[in-house]
Each structure stands twice: as C-alpha cells, then as structure tokens.
Amino acid sequence: MKTCKSTRVLSVAAAAVLSVFMAGQASATAFDGGIPVGWTGIGNYGTLGANGVVTTSPEGGNYGWVSTSGGVTTGSADLGLGSETNGSILRTNAFSANAGDSLDFYFNYVTSDGQIYVEYAWARLLDNLLNPVALLFTARTTTSGSTVPGFGMPPITAQITPNVVTIVSGAPIWSPLGGSSGTCYGAGCGYTGWVESEYTIANAGSYILEFGVVNWLDTAYQSGLAFDGITVAGVPIDPNGDVPEPASLALLGLGLAGLGAFRRRKVA
C-alpha cells in the first residue's frame, strides 16, 4: 500500500510532538521544583541534587531530605523510643490508594555520629488523621552489623532492597548535615546508599507518608535522610511529578491543531 508524502510528513510531525510531550512528563520529578505543594514539615528539610556522598537518586533529578541539623526538640517529631533529643520530619500531602496498591520509594541514610549516640531515621504510613498505619523502614547508627533495618527498633512491614544494609563507613560529606558534614564521631558514621522500599497497601483509603530523623542522647554530630521516587500503583503521589511542562503542552496543542487543519483540508 502506497503512503502519500504529506501523510508521511504529518506522521513524523505528530510523532515528534508526542515525543516532546512524553519527555516533558518524564523529566518532571517530584522534587525538581522544591518541596511539593501541600507537604508539611517540622524542623529542617528541603530538596537537593547530587551532593557529597548522596548521589542522584535512581529516579534522577533532585531528592527530598530531612536533617537533625537545625531540628526541633522531639516529642512531635520522633517514634517515642526513649532518648530522642531533636529531629525533623516531612509529610506528604494526603493521597488516595486502593487495596493492593504498591507504595514505593527510595531512601539513603547519612550519619556523622556513632558509638553510643545511636541516631535513627524512619518512614511510616499514616492515615489522614495522622494515626500510624505501617512502619515502612528504619535506619539506625550502629558500630557493627546492619544499619537498615535499624537495630532495637520496631519491625518494618515493607520489603526493602537490599533487605539488609550495612553502613558505608567514613566521615560523610553532605551539606544537610550542616557543620557536621565531613566529620565523624566514632565507629558507625557513614551512609547507606540508595535503598528501595516496597509496601502493599492493605485497605483503600486516604493516607500520608512521613519521613523523619532524630538525634539520640545529645544534639551533636548530625544525621539525615534523603528520599525520592515516591509512587502509588506506579503513579507519583505529589501534585508536580506527573504534570507536563507548559512548553510541552503548548507544543502538543499546536501539533493537534495542525492535525485538525490537515483533516479539514483532506475532507474539503
């Protein structure tokens, strides 16, 4: 079957427009525009690209973070294990999920403290009234053995990959640690690298995802947590992550207008 030249040209143009549109979607990651609209935090948190020991996340672009540097006195920002001193949390906007949906994200724990000062970090799923639903991961400073899941902490209900993580030891350089960046107090300092968490939501409902990190026994030598790639059933939960850029929308509109004009000329 012979295809006329004008049809081939139009097909190429349409494909180019669609390609640009899809590229706009793919490049819009959760934290590229800062903390997403509707998220709330306590203490010190923000967004950042590759920095020091924390590389670009597996999703690319910027990631979110919380840090004990500049954190607040705990009570509203910890898991209540007993000797927390200060810390920070960041919570997503409320999102809807169906029973059986997979909640996925990546995290990277970084600590400049060690020995008896066993800082920890976590992520947990809350309902829309902030009641705990599931503890998704824990990370904790330790002088030996696994850092993730955190020793001496409640069991997690998510699947993490790798399923056991030991610290990459050394004085970690990472700007959210503030004045502790590049320092180390005893064995246990370092970072985990990016770890994946996967959790199957049991019941349909409205949920909030919480990330947190705390100091333990003192407020010296800081720790932090990076995170990215948060999806439910494969869809970003933030309001920014799956929206194409305005330029892509404009180009798509022009392309569709061109298709309409071409069809009208053919009918005429």
pLDDT at res. 74: 74
Higher local confidence (pLDDT), 82 or 174: 174
pLDDT at res. 121: 95
Higher local confidence (pLDDT), 118 or 77: 118
Under the banding of pLDDT at 50, 70 and 90, the label for residue 161 is very high
pLDDT at 21 over 50: no
Q: Once rounded to an integer, what is the mean pLDDT over residues 154-178?
A: 93
- Tokens 């990472």: give the residue: 174
pLDDT at 25 over 50: no
Q: Once rounded to an integer, what is the mean pLDDT over residues 234-253?
A: 52
Q: Once rounded to an integer, what is the mean pLDDT over residues 47-53?
A: 96
pLDDT at res. 75: 67
What pTM, to 2 d.p., does this model score? 0.79
Mean pLDDT of the chain: 81
Determine if residue 3 is left, alpha or beta; phi over 0 gives left, psi from -120 to 50 gives alpha, anything else beta.
beta
Kindly report which listed range (1-5, 66-70, 170-174, 198-202) carries the lowest average pLDDT score: 1-5
pLDDT at 186 over 90: no
pLDDT at 4 over 50: no
In the three-class reduction of DSSP (H, G, I as helix; E, B as strand; rest coil), residue 6 is classed as helix
Under the banding of pLDDT at 50, 70 and 90, the label for residue 137 is very high
Cis ω for the linkage preceding 162 (within 30 of 0): yes
**176 contacts 46 by C-beta, under 8 angstroms:** yes
Alpha-carbon distance of 45 to 65, in angstroms, equals 5
Q: Once rounded to an integer, what is the mean pLDDT over residues 214-239?
A: 91
